[in-house]
Structure 1
């Protein structure tokens, strides 16, 4: 297998045009390749500057999970810190987790931030939403969002080898005009549900609005996690 390491967007586009298979930290694909055979040409973005950004409103797809620190909102930092073991976080990447993983541990946090994705195609860059990233698995270059007022994250404990643990992520955002917007995303099993509510009256009204979204399909046990998290988050508005 030939591994290409592009250092510019034009080089990365050339690799895509040549049929290079994108890899992150290869933590998810290595065993599959050993079993089914390695691709002739692969590509890593670890030397591409645009894929290695870290900041309060942006995160590159090639960033190792272990490098995610307080430069990004807490909801994303805490989510990254719960992925696998320290050894996994030293090799796994943002792009690999969001695009290649079935668990997508970073997805609830990214949805709570209302993040948009920049993807790279043979004809250039394009911005899209996370739904397309999950469904079509394009070459993710980076994430971008607006810094929230406050955010929160919780991952319940779970037994090794059992079902995925419940994850709840939320963020409070400024809204043009009166009030604020609260965004919540929950991973229940392998499903990730998200909802948005405008908070301009009271906390209970905001919770009712969230129940009217896809989050209303969550089981009662999930709401015992979501409810106190949202109420605590809305305290920042006062």
Structure 2
């Protein structure tokens, strides 16, 4: 297998044109390659500057999870810190987790940040939403978002080897009219549900609003976790309730 390490967008596009298979940290694909055979060409973005940014409002796809720190919102930082083991987090990348994994541990956090994706194909670099990235398995360059007022993340305990643990992520944003809005996303098994509701007048308003979204379809125990998580977040001094 020939592994290409492009250092510019144009070099990465050449790799795509040559049929190189994108890899992140290869934590998920390596075992499959050992069983099924290695591709003739592969490509890693670890030397591409655009894929390695860590800054307020931006995170590159080639960033390994253990490098994600307080420069990004709490919800994303904590989501990355709970993925796998320390050894996994030293190798696994943002792009691999979001696009190459069925667990997609970072997806709830990215959804509540209302993140947009910058992606690359052989002809152009462009911005799109996360739904398109996941549906079409685009080559992700980076995530971008508007900074939230506050955010939080919780992963419930789970038995090793069992179903994926229940995850709830939440963030409060201020819209263009100066009003506060709550975004919530959960991972329930392999399903991810998301919704949003106004929260400027109180916690109950936000919770009632979430009832009318996909979050409201959760079973009772899952809904109770969401309700408590939202209550705790909005009770913070910076929680967005006015």
Pair in the same fold by TM > 0.5: yes
Deviation, 1:200, is 3.4
Question: Which residue in the other structure is 2:26 paired with?
Answer: 26
Question: Which residue in the other structure is 2:186 paired with?
Answer: 186
Correspondences of 1:1-238 after superposition (within 5 Å): 1-235=1-235, 236-237=239-240, 238=242
Aligned with 1:62: secondary structure? Answer: coil
- The separation in 2 between residues aligned to 1:48 and 1:212, in whole angstroms, is 42
Deviation, 1:225, is 1.3
Deviation, 1:180, is 0.6
Matched-pair contact (CA < 8 Å) for 1:178–1:200: no
Deviation, 1:199, is 2.1
- The separation in 2 between residues aligned to 1:103 and 1:153, in whole angstroms, is 16
- The separation in 2 between residues aligned to 1:92 and 1:12, in whole angstroms, is 20
Task: After the TM superposition, list the runs of 4 or more consecutive aligned residues in structure 1 that deviate by more than 4 angstroms.
Answer: none
Matched-pair contact (CA < 8 Å) for 1:75–1:169: yes
- The separation in 1 between residues aligned to 2:62 and 2:159, in whole angstroms, is 29
The alignment yields a C-alpha RMSD, in angstroms, of 0.9
* Partner deviation per Cα, 1:186-205 (whole Å, 9 max, x = no partner): 00010000001122333212
Aligned with 2:31: secondary structure? Answer: helix
Matched-pair contact (CA < 8 Å) for 1:183–1:195: yes
- The separation in 2 between residues aligned to 1:217 and 1:17, in whole angstroms, is 43
- Higher mean C-alpha deviation, range 16-25 or range 128-137: 128-137
- The separation in 2 between residues aligned to 1:206 and 1:176, in whole angstroms, is 18
Matched-pair contact (CA < 8 Å) for 1:181–1:199: yes
Deviation, 1:128, is 0.9
Aligned with 1:142: secondary structure? Answer: strand
- The separation in 2 between residues aligned to 1:54 and 1:178, in whole angstroms, is 27
- The separation in 2 between residues aligned to 1:35 and 1:181, in whole angstroms, is 47
Aligned with 1:35: secondary structure? Answer: helix
Aligned with 2:168: secondary structure? Answer: strand
Consecutive unaligned residues of structure 2, counting only runs of 5 or more, are: none
| Count of residue pairs brought into register by the alignment | 238
- The separation in 1 between residues aligned to 2:27 and 2:209, in whole angstroms, is 39
Aligned with 2:165: secondary structure? Answer: coil
Deviation, 1:178, is 4.6
